[in-house]
Amino acid sequence: MKIYGNSYDKRANNRKFKHQRRYLAAARFLITEMGSKNKIQRENLCSIIFSCTKDLTAARPSEGVETLPFFTKNPVPMLDVQQMDFEGGLPMCIRIFLNVNIDKELNEIIHVNLCK
């Protein structure tokens, strides 16, 4: 029998909330960096695809981005998907694919990687 409200459950909920906040902040930071480094304007953005590894389950990456003022005024279609799981794959990874209509050559686009 599980007892709700004990200190163990509260600690587990607090940990989940911390992970969720960090996860959403990472998605917001990554998309902000992508937009600023490539000088992307809202009118050029067609859609966004978010993918994450199976170990990131606290929230959808788009949840963090939907709250940014850039997207609340003019919503963009967003899709969250799970990356294929394979041996040796990068854990705890969020990838964002922006579908953008811009006049830049492929070698002019700055790809943002926050892993160091």
CB 20, CB 56: distance < 8 Å: no
By CB atoms closer than 10 A (0-12, 13-18, 19+), residue 78 is middle
Task: Report the chain's mean pLDDT, rounded to a whole number.
Answer: 83
Q: In the predicted model, what is the mean pLDDT of residues 21-40?
A: 90
In the predicted structure, residue 2 carries a pLDDT above the cut 50: no
Angle at 116 between CA 93 and CA 97, to 5 degrees: 40
> Does the pTM exceed 0.85?
no
Tell me the pLDDT tens digit for each residue of 43-77: 889 999 999 999 888 888 898 888 888 787 778 89
Q: Which residue has the higher pLDDT, 2 or 46?
A: 46
Predicted local confidence at residue 49, as pLDDT: 96
